Amino acid sequence: MPPVTSTGDLQGKTVLVTGGTGSFGTAFVKELLANHDPAAIRVYSRDELKQHELERKLGGDGRLRYLLGDVRDVNRLKQATRGVDVIVHAAALKQVVACEYNPFEAVQTNIIGAENVVTAAIENRVPRTLSLSTDKAVNPVNLYGATKLCAEKIVTQGNSYASAQGDARFSSVRYGNVVGSRGSVVPLFKAQAQDGVFTITDEAMTRFWITLEQAVNFVIDCLRRMEGGEVFIPKIPSMRVIDITQALAAQAERRIIGIRPGEKIHEILLTSEESRHAGSFDGFYAIYPSFPFWRSDDYPRGKELTPGFSYTSDNNDAWLTAGDIREMVSQIAPAT
């Protein structure tokens, strides 16, 4: 992969995080403050209570700036991104069922919001913008996944609208379920374990899993590597959802309730079509864009993938063991 350069290094940089008070945003801000010595971090979100709570939690660090704003508001984003070196775009509506029930809200935040971030970054010549995507964007069967697929395309194509001098570059990261994040099944199962009854959608269901710490570190690594246009995918383990219940309370009742609207049995992170223009690297895959702006001759290609290769949660080589699951869930509080 390309060497780490000063444009990707976060030391002394001004970083803006959309959705900065969410699960990822909070962990990302903490990591930057602790280990990367940024000049300033602009926490951009629309919830003043969460901003107040984060400010109290972090103890008033002088490098933090709390900006109220919505990614739907392009003018506010243009103000917020002036003088910024790096944008990490984490703001989104993420709950599958909520997006199904409120489709236009999901479109405005996840699609129009991504377009607004790209527009603001181009206007202010922000050198690096990295957008967070999801496995649900691949062959989407629900509105949330469809909006995130659109967001990926908008972010990638943003490189075509930036100047030829490369003063604004855009890439995405795509990963699976974050263990213990808001909406994760793990806190729910921990609460149900206390009651002795688990509600299972389908016993065959598998998922990719990544910890919050791993997600944060992967994003930071991709910020260093990105040239603009890639979709980065970490190589992460799979888990059978039913194995969580086994690890928590093997004797508890399991009640099958059927899959919810827009839910898959197995997840996909890399399709066979995408693998034709992707490479395998140590710890991750990178999908290369198929557009004229892509400087393929200057970029290491990684190991070529075999024809028809796909990366799905049920054909993964890496699986969490029962011990891994018990250690994982021990660090997560039950849902209240």
**Sign of the alpha-carbon dihedral angle for 276, 280, 284, 287:** negative
Q: Which of 77, 84, 15, 7 is nearest to 43 (CA)?
A: 15
Active site residue 136: yes
What does the alpha-carbon distance between residue 117 and residue 305 come to, in Å, rounded to a whole number? Answer: 32
Catalytic residue among 13, 94, 136, 264: 136
- Is 191:334 a contact under the CB 8 Å cutoff? yes
Residues 106/93, Cβ–Cβ less than 8 Å = yes
Q: Which token pair is 139? A: 């062959």
188 alpha carbon, distance to own chain's centre: 21
Q: What SS3 state is found at 321?
A: coil
Work out whether the CA dihedral 285, 132, 24, 168 comes out positive or negative. Answer: positive
Q: Which two tokens stand for residue 160?
A: 């075509």
Sort strands 14-18 and 40-45 into parallel, antiparallel or unpaired: parallel
CA–CA separation, 156 vs 192, rounded Å?
A: 41
178 neighbors 137 (Cβ within 8 angstroms):
no
Instruction: Please provide the distance, in angstroms rounded to a whole number, between the alpha carbons at the two ends of the chain.
Output: 44
The tokens 């062959």 sit on which residue? 139
How many residues are there in the chain? 336
Task: Pinpoint the alpha helices (H) of the chain.
Answer: 23-35, 48-58, 74-80, 96-101, 103-106, 113-123, 143-161, 185-195, 212-225, 241-249, 322-330
Q: How far is CA 46 from CA 19, 113, 117, in A?
A: 8, 13, 15
Q: Which residues are catalytic?
A: 136
